[in-house]
Amino acid sequence: MFTKRLAQGALPLIAISVALLISASVLPRSPLISLSTDQVGKASMLDAAEGKLAGDKMMINPVNYTYVAGSSLSDEARQAHVYQLLLEGRPESVLAQAAAALGVSGEVQRSSQWSPDSPSYFIGTEDGTASSVNIWWGGTGNWYFNSFVTSSAPACKTTQLAEDGSEFCSEYVEQKPTPELLPSETQILRDALRVFNATGLSVSKQDITIYKDEWSAGASASLKVAGQETAISWNIGYDSTGRLAWAGGHSVRVVDRGTYGTVSAKAAVQRLKDWRWYGNPAQSEYPVYSASNRDVATPAQTEQQPTEVTVTINSAKPLLLNVWDKNFGSWLVPGFALSGNEGSVNFIVSLVEGVIELPEPIEVQPMIEPMIDETSTK
């Protein structure tokens, strides 16, 4: 499904070669991508900074960062491919396919939020009284499954009388994890392979990442383009009783829009102060957050004045970043994972100016401290 389709009436090989050479050396007359303020603005920058790490709470501190390129960074500008993600199939068919894979029965219906500009559909219910699968037919055609489970209230430990004489529970029995109810890694892998392959992501067991703790478990896999993982991922998750409680995926095909110039790693460091250049990487690119390392790496602060921090960028890993255009279209563009000497990692688009049209600047204050990779300070 993700293979690039050839147009009818293919050009001679020499003509294709000439076209590729031209696309690699000449800027488009108009921007290829006009970025969305919503995607590349505050939300995108905060996602990149916070890493979307489940269960980790990030502190917002008034910090002014100055970024300096380390001597090891390359100053060589290169060429790289840009990929557009286009919707694949029909929403009704994609939704029915996901519902069948996840055991949800019923007819495809328009959601209460449906509109011609933002069509969305569901199978099951919208009110949360039963399991459902929903899809928004825009962007990457992402769908989401939620398994409704009637949960009983926790047992009451202590009751008290209210002023009106009625009795209410003031303390409940402590909830305890039930890891013995969670599926085995073998079962998780089996479910992930079944759901992902049935809903458009062709994967094998080595492509799947499994997580598990005392309370829940799950698995994820990323759409790979040119051998690289991307931010477009499929996921399944289990609740504390071991029930498959949620899942999500997409319905897209990848179109190679050609090669374009990129700035060097050293030049990309200058973009770190401008949130408009931030993009979203694959889940696997986010570092492990460590509160103890944050305390060591961050100087003491006062309530009135922001802390001045100089970060030296010593590593630049090329990768594909996901960005959204102003028409809710999704793209994969070249970028860098820029790692600082104190453990921070930020994800910056490396395309030369002119290929991307940036939104109007918006001041973002206060700055959120970057993530700390606990492996970098050991």
Give yes or no for a contact between 218 and 247, defined as CB atoms under 8 angstroms apart.
no
In degrees and rounded to multiples of 5, residue 195 shows phi and psi of -70, -45
Residue 129 in this model has a pLDDT that exceeds 90: no
Q: Looking at beta carbons, which pairs linking 104-111 to residues 24 or more positions away fall under 8 Å? A: 104/131, 104/132, 104/133, 104/145
> Which positions ≥6 away from 110 have C-beta within 8 Å?
119, 120, 121
Where is pLDDT greater, at 332 or 40? 332
What are the C-alpha distances in Å from 372 to residues 41, 53, 199, 341? 22, 12, 35, 10
Maximum separation of any 2 CA atoms in the chain, in Å:
89
Question: Which two structure tokens, joined as six digits, stand for 21?
Answer: 């050479």
Closest CA to 314 of 74, 72, 75, 76: 72
Strand segments (E) across 150-306: 156-161, 167-172, 209-212, 217-225, 228-238, 244-249, 252-262
Helix (H, G, I), strand (E, B) or coil at 102: helix
> Which positions ≥6 away from 247 have C-beta within 8 Å?
98, 102, 144, 145, 195, 234, 235, 236, 237
pLDDT in tens, 152-188: 678 899 999 999 999 999 999 998 999 999 999 999 9
CA atoms of 258 and 255, how far apart (whole Å):
9
pLDDT at 250: 98
The percent of residues in the chain predicted with pLDDT above 70, rounded, is: 76
pLDDT in tens, 265-319: 999 999 999 999 999 999 999 876 443 344 434 445 445 577 888 999 999 999 9
**What average pLDDT is seen over the chain?**
82
Q: Where are the alpha helices (DSSP H) in the chain?
A: 13-25, 37-40, 42-50, 91-102, 185-198, 265-268, 291-297
